[in-house]
Chain A
Amino acid sequence: MAESAPGMLEKFQTMFDNLVKVTTTKAPIGQTPKQAIWRLNKATLYRYTPVKPDEERHRTPLLLIFALMNKSSILDLRPGSSFVEYMLNKGYDLYLLDWGAPGPEDAHQDLGDYVLEYIPRAIRKMKQVSGSETFNLLGWCIGAMLSTLYGSLRGQQEGLRSLILLTAPLDFTDTDQISLARMTDERYFDVERLLNAFGGNMPAGMIDYGAKMLKPVENFVGGYTRLFDNLDNTKVVDSWHAMNTWVNDPIPLAGGAYRQFIVDFYRGNKLMNGTLSIRGEKVDLRELKASVLNVIAMDDHITPPCQSARLMDKVGSADKLELKVAGGHIGVMAGSGASKGTWPKVESWIAARSD
């Protein structure tokens, strides 16, 4: 039966309100209460306000590290759809290292700065605040790459108990499978010219464009048709709005780090070849002795599964597990199915290594 006139009117009103909302506002994201406990340059270490009493909490703190070129609020997208909120409810003492946005003065910052200056200092502070000598580390995307480097270089000395890697881009052997490797091929792409043109850093807009061009129709058109189809469904629109707010808020990447990603990783594959050095220290994956959970997203087009899988043969950990989950690069942790798929699996693995 056709809808009644008042019903139709109400539907159009909802659609109009939703359209105005998504086109004129930014969704509130990253709302879980937290306190800044340490700062260095643009980086901030946050401690999320625990929701469980002390006796019900896991003793080992968990530090979250996200990528350098997007905001870490994806881990805490919105109430009811937040990994942070989920983990707090499971009784974790949760910390987040937020990198902030580098300015022109940070153009020289490279992986050595992030891995050997920022992360160890943030961990020192976290250990002081939590009172625990050991800790767990969860890295996502480039954050997983940084966490792996840290785990190999400093993990053993500094009390790294377990390392959770989500969609970690570590292996660049199979360049035919890696779209970004083709995009940054040295025959067509001059890193120095780009950094020189933009004052030393990789601009946020360029990173965003590069990521979106990996699936141009889906990213530039598909998202909006999905919104259009669900404009009368406020729940779907709110979810879309939150993700869209996050996606369209990238941050620049420090030139030094970007140069290393392209030259040492995408072109040289130095980590897997065993030839990578950070500030003169050779990165040996066999030195990574902490427990490792390697989460691979099977539909990831940014970090295809082939970029993470081979790590398991290289690390020195006795306790290691590869977890293949359905989903894309972001959807695996922030998609609608993550709270019933990836999160419980990741949480149960960490829980066994947190007391």
Chain B
Amino acid sequence: MSDAEKRFDPVKLLRDVRDGSMDAWAKLTLKLTSSHEYQRLQGVIMKPTFLAIALWRKATESTMSGVLGNLNMPSREEVLMISQRLTNIEMALDDLGAGLDQLRRGTNASTRQQRSGTGRSGDNGGEARPPLSAKGEA
């Protein structure tokens, strides 16, 4: 055994002790947090906490909607409703855009068919694959 290997390293010893105790601690904690007793305790703590948060939220919301109403401004619910309606409009526009695109591709394909008279079209409804540039975007 070389001198370097024989040399006492207090840092390594401390590190080993730390790792060993952490390992034991981890196993113990895991056993504890995995138990039904721990989950039950967590449930007991969470129930009144959630109730208190919900009551606080309700109180602030009703106060705020009163204030906003007096200021002739839309309430939180109204803003949320507008947002949901916007998402629905976005979806409708997306479908419309896709439908128009399909129509355009169909028209392009039939125009090409008429011009060539061969009756053949490409894989993609007659439309060429968009360029997939290695440098830029399609």
Where the two chains meet, the residues of A that have a C-beta atom closer than 8 Å to any C-beta of B are 35, 38, 40-41, 47, 49-54, 57, 93, 103-106, 108, 117, 121, 124-125, 128-133, 179, 182-183, 185, 187-190, 193-194, 196-199, 213-218, 221-222, 225, 229
Contacts and interface: CB of A to CB of B under 8 A. Distances in A.
B69 interface: no
Given A49-B137, A187-B40, 8 more contacts: A40-B90, A50-B134, A52-B134, A129-B130, A131-B127, A133-B124, A194-B46, A196-B54
B5 to A, nearest CB: 14
> Interface residues of B toward A: which range?
35 or more
B6 to A, nearest CB: 15
B127 A196 contact: no
A131 B123 contact: yes
21 contacts: A38-B94, A40-B90, A49-B134, A49-B135, A49-B136, A53-B134, A54-B131, A54-B134, A105-B84, A106-B87, A121-B91, A125-B98, A129-B138, A133-B124, A189-B46, A197-B49, A197-B53, A197-B54, A215-B26, A215-B30, A217-B29
A105 B95 CA distance: 22
Nearest to B82: A105
Given A41-B87, A49-B137, A51-B134, A188 B39 contact: yes
Contacts of A216: 26, 29-30, 33
Contacts of A50: 132-134
B123 to A, nearest CB: 7
Nearest to A93: B132
Interface of B: 15, 18, 22, 25-26, 29-30, 33-34, 36, 39-40, 42-43, 46-47, 49-51, 53-54, 57, 76, 79-80, 83-84, 87, 90-91, 94-95, 98, 101, 123-124, 127-138
A216 B34 CA distance: 11
B25 A182 contact: no
B93 to A, nearest CB: 10
A222 B42 CA distance: 23
**Interface of chain B, helix or strand or loop or mixed?**
helix
Contact of B50 (A41, A57, A194): A194
A213 B136 CA distance: 44
Given A216-B33, A217-B25, A222-B26, A190 B134 contact: no
Contacts of A189: 39, 43, 46
Given A40-B91, A49-B137, A229-B15, A222 B57 contact: no
B124 A131 contact: yes
Contacts of B124: 131, 133
Contacts of A197: 49-51, 53-54, 57
B47 A105 contact: no
A221 B22 contact: yes
A130 B131 CA distance: 9
A221 B24 CA distance: 13
Contacts of B47: 190, 193
